[in-house]
Chain A
Amino acid sequence: MSVERKKLIFITEIEQLSADTISSFEMMGIELTPDYDPDQHESYLFAIVNALPAGVHLPILRLKKMDKFEMGLLNKVRAYLDPSYIGKKPVFDLLNLHMDGGFNVIDYYAASYKNTYCVKVQDYLNIGYFTDVVVSAAYRARFNIEKIRKYMSECFKYCFKIIEPYEEQFSLDVIYSYSEEGFAVQIHLNCEEFNPERNFKVPNVSVNDFYHYANYVDVSFFKKRSRLTISSVWFADKELAKFNSLFFTDVFYRVFKKDIGTHVINMIEDLNRTEYKALANYATQARKMTAARKFAIFIRHYRKSEEGPKSADQLEPADIVQYLRSYPRQSSVKRLDQELLSFVIQLIRNNELYTGVSAYIHKASRTVLSPVIEEIRHQISEKTLVEMGEIILSRVDVLVDKDEELPVEDEAQVRALTEASDDDEDMPQIPHDHHESEASWETKSSEVAQKIEDEIIRVKSSYKELVADDIMKVVSASIAIQEKHIFRVRAFIEALIAEENTLSKAEIARETYVPVEYDKEKMLDQIFRMKKMLNQMKHEIVRLRRNPQAVSISAPTHEIITEEGETKVVTVHDKEIYEENLKLRNAIERGMVVLREREEVHSKMKRDFDKAIRLLQEHKISVDENRHELESKINEAIADNKELEAKLDTSAQKLSVVNESMEHRDHDADDIIQRKDKEIEGLKENLKASEALAEHFKSERHTFEVKLRQEEQLTKKLRDEKTENADARENPQQGNLNKINALTSELKAFEERFRAQSLEVKKLEQKLKYTNVQVEEHQKKKSQMANSNNKSTEAYAKQLESAATRVNEALAEVTEKKKEIHKLKQENFVMSTRITELERKLNILDKKAS
């Protein structure tokens, strides 16, 4: 079980904060209070600067922009926060968790450990590499890497400067995680001491060099583990880029359970352990004080029976020891130490102290939850016996009630002391359980008191009579209290009920109960009565002076009374009247003083009311503004919605037009393709025919070539024959010559024909080539057309797709806007209910003020 403490921030000038900031703190469960209550010391998280000296020991939270963190103030200034962004959701969530304590930024931003990564840096030379690792992760997660890089670089330098002097082989544990909202980095390092001056300003590097690169920085020191943790966060929202916060947290824990020294600043506690704030050493000191009183009783009694006792002022510790040798319980005497001895001597010497201590012990053992006793108990905790004595001495007048019978040593008490068994618990003494249960009781009692007060207010508001058992029931049902504590609770409730009953009587008389006004009226009545009496007396005096015979005074004795430098001669009777008059005047003066005081209180209350009303009005104005803003936003959202719907319609129309045109184009393209196909078919046929013709000409050419070769061979043969038979056949030469001529002419003719044919073939070949080229061109054109057709269809498809995506986007935007509208409506509803509530409160306050 962990005890939830009320969290407070001490601020003297709350007006300087904006309503948003105040409400944000309130929503975090932090109360901003201008009054410092030392009893609730542990509940104060911070004091905001310009605090009164009362809260000067509290860690200071700065809300003003600072360019540099003043190192000289580090022992005091432990946090800085830019309040202008506190109302933004990511900032509020983060700060809320921070103020609650016991949270880890890494766990908070990791999506169930899926996006958690860790690296260990064990060498100064590798800083760059690991900085890159973190920065690249941030880049992938789409965060502003500029700031993260600078922060990591400077922070690593800083960490190494801290760790280098202590450890030869070390490790910086770097853990980082991220979500859509933020990127968190945590660096852990060993650090022997938390000395802000030294550790936060290591040579050449300080926290100033890097904290402003991050949106949130928390430097926590864990004393027991000698560990320093630097946590930092960057928000994804670019609007929050300028937000900056810094917290220095030192967490001290108990090393061993028996050692008491728990001091937790900033409410960061171990959630798994119950941490009641114990009143350190109170129980021990209380026991000592009781024992000292018992010794003092014994010695005083002993000295009474002693013949010629030593003077109390001359008593020395040795004498006390000597007296206590006769003390019946020697086990108690064994606990005697120097402090106890000197306190016993003081008790014997100083009767007033003795009376005060006796009264305190007496009351503390009988009275439960008496505010005086509680106050003294708080004051004397953690004090030495001498200091305790001084405190009690200063409060003797409060402790010793004249009407009450004071506990003094008597025979019975001394007899009880001497006859008692060897058990300290038999004697009346301050209730001191185990110190932890004392602390637990303290926590519980405050809790109980709070609950009771709440319940009384509730019951009063419903115009019911208070019944003790009802409250008891409520309280016991709501708080689990052990049986041994019940009697204390009951007594406290009874005390409260007694008060409340008188108040309820006053209510019956006046219907409404306003304590200040009631007193004032009462006092006025009294003064009025007194004035009346005074006037009557004056008249009486005047009458008597005028007619002295009317008074039957046998022996008028003259006396001289000096008053304000004047000498008057008056009779005894006059003197009595005068004295009575004086008394009355004094009473009136006192009454006037009281009245003035009451008036002051009243005026103060009025001022407070005015202030509260002003604040409420401001709040109302801000709420109205918010409402107007929200309404305008809703209108804007509706307009946006309409616009988007119109866009959607136009895009749908465009889409249909595009579809139609695409259909037309497709149809045309089919026609063209068919025509082109036909042309290509015709060309192909032409080509085939020309190819066949070319083949034919080729075959003809081939036959002619064959024939030509045969003729050439024949001609060659004939020439040979001619040369062989030239001599032998001179006469038939003419006939052969003719033959030769005929053959040569025939040859020429063949040759000419051959040339003509070859020319024809070449022409046909060229024609063939030309047709081939044409066919190829057609084919190319066809393919181009086909391609262009394909391309155009693809382009259309793309257009179609893009249009569809745009439509989808628009739809998504519309749904988002709708959600936003819904959310805004909800907010509006909440705000309006709040306004009505505030108006109701305002009315109540108005009533009260009037």
Chain B
Amino acid sequence: MEPVTQQLELLGKTVAKVSDEQARVGETLFRARCRTFGTPPPVASANRRVWGTLAAVTAATALAAGVWIYVRSRPPAMSPIVTYQLAGNSTAAAPSFFETKHNDLEVRFSEGSVITVLPETGVRVLDTKPQGVNLSIERGIVRCNIRHRANTDWTVKAGPFDIRVTGTRFEAEWVPTTSHFELTLEEGSVEVTGPHVSGTQRVVKGERFTVEVNRGEKSLVGLGLVPAPSAQVTSVELPVAQPDIAEPIVRSATVDWSTLAKAGKYREALSIVDRLGFDVVLQRSDAATARLLADASRMGGKPKQAQQAFLFLRERLHVKAETAFVLGKISADQLNTPAQAYRWFDTYLREQPKGPLREQALGRSLELSKYAPRNQLLANAREYLTAFPSGAHAPLARKTLGQTTDAR
């Protein structure tokens, strides 16, 4: 293979790795899923309701006689399935989807687990395996009583959330129209992954975990206690008028722009900040909050506000060095003020001569050579080659010294 091809492949692997580390796959897929399948699954037509009623009556009769029945499952057009018993090694049957209208529906599985599907709920069995089932709550509420055994392995999906179950009783709800997720543990514990959940969220007996995905809010409370907002709620509190919500779901009036910002939803976060007043939010911020606001402004395409926030950090909160470096990047990359950019990189180098961003600050300074005093330019080039002889900007440093020496 040509050496240059090999080098391109190595570069490509680096790029892919960085891309994968930065990606928020779960949230992206959740939003894509909502856009693609925005409407709930179709309800059975009038003709099929007759069949559904007959099947329900039949099943009730069979149940009364102590007979467990299996019902052939078909695509959503078929009547709701009444009861199941999971066969350990079932083959050649179709996945099942069922939904309820006015009554509960109990579904029993051969390994002893039972789920109760409450009214107005749609459930899909995605997959079966010897140790458990993958179930999807498409909408509504399901009560699960999953039998614990040594190798129990159930996954209950509720919208974009995955609940990993090894044996417990809980109730899970997913409302796709409002992106509301709620999980109440009655026995045992589960682990939850999904939007606004860092890593996994463990929920134990007696706790209720709620996530309002669209608002970026979550809470974990003990049952019977007054719900409190999650720890990430911002320090800025203002009343929020929500006339379109008939039943208030949010348990706090706190506006949580910071949670949106931490989730990477910069534009949404900044629109809330705009309503609150950027200056007001900034003035009330501690260093961490001001830094979050500054980064959100930079990533959300508001470099002037970002600059203001970083200047606030420096001048009012005395956060030096790195703020100078980032101000340099904002000036160079977003505001197109290279002279100012050079001054900020130079400031960083004076405030933290041996700092972690030294190589990059020196390198960026060399790139902005025409804004640097001659002596400083030469000094930076020499310093770069001494400290980072194999660095990314080493060729530029050598060229700087060569050109300057020849010209003078």
B and A form one assembly: no
Give me the interface of B with A, judged by CB distance under 8 Å: none
